Amino acid sequence: FELNVTSVMWLNKRFLDAFGGSKCDLKMSEKTTKLVFMNVSSRAAIAPYPTLSQYCTAKAAREMHFRVLAAEQSTSNKVQVFSYAPGSMDTDMQQTMRESPLMAPELVKWFEEMKQQGTFVPMQQSSHRAVVAAITGDFESGKLVTFDDLNYIDNL
């Protein structure tokens, strides 16, 4: 919780003190068009998963922090908050969950099926969608955006 929530809140506060919302506007050059805070979120921020209490709680806390940040910055024309759920990907964390005897059996089964069927989201594709959306500003500040919400980007 300290790393995933408290430190993020502290860094965002310090960054805004120096460059953003705590001031009248960004101190950067006049050519600066947007400051985008990016939250790597998860469906676990909004849905409960058995045996993932700490993960879900931390993701939910981060999600609310970034929503509040977006609300506080809503009058700024230069500050946006991009909260992105990149989808289930085959990461080291995912492998650890599949192999853990402490995980809920239904989650292990679900994760193993995704692995066997090859339905994990490709990391490169998910990160590409996130970068394009963040750069273009094609998102509602503070609203959770999922990998599937950005499927149109693959056709650009």
Please list the pLDDT of the chain residue by residue as tens digits (156 residues). Answer: 888 899 999 999 988 887 765 555 545 445 555 789 999 999 999 999 999 999 999 999 999 999 999 999 888 778 899 999 999 999 999 999 999 999 999 999 999 999 999 999 999 999 999 999 999 988 999 999 999 999 999 887
Which structural domains are found in the chain, ordered by start? 2-86+121-155 (3.40.50.720), 90-120 (no CATH)
Specify whether the CB–CB gap between 19 and 32 falls below 8 A. no
For helices 7-19 and 53-72, give the axis angle rounded to 10 degrees: 20
CA nearest 85: which of 129, 138, 117? Answer: 129
Say which DSSP state 121 is in.
Answer: P
Return the pLDDT at 22. Answer: 55
Return the pLDDT at 25. Answer: 52
Scanning the structure block, which residue is given the tokens 């506080």?
72
- Residue 146: strand pairing partners: 85
**Stretch (H or E) spanning 64:** helix 53-72
Return the pLDDT at 38. Answer: 96
CA nearest 144: which of 87, 78, 90? Answer: 87
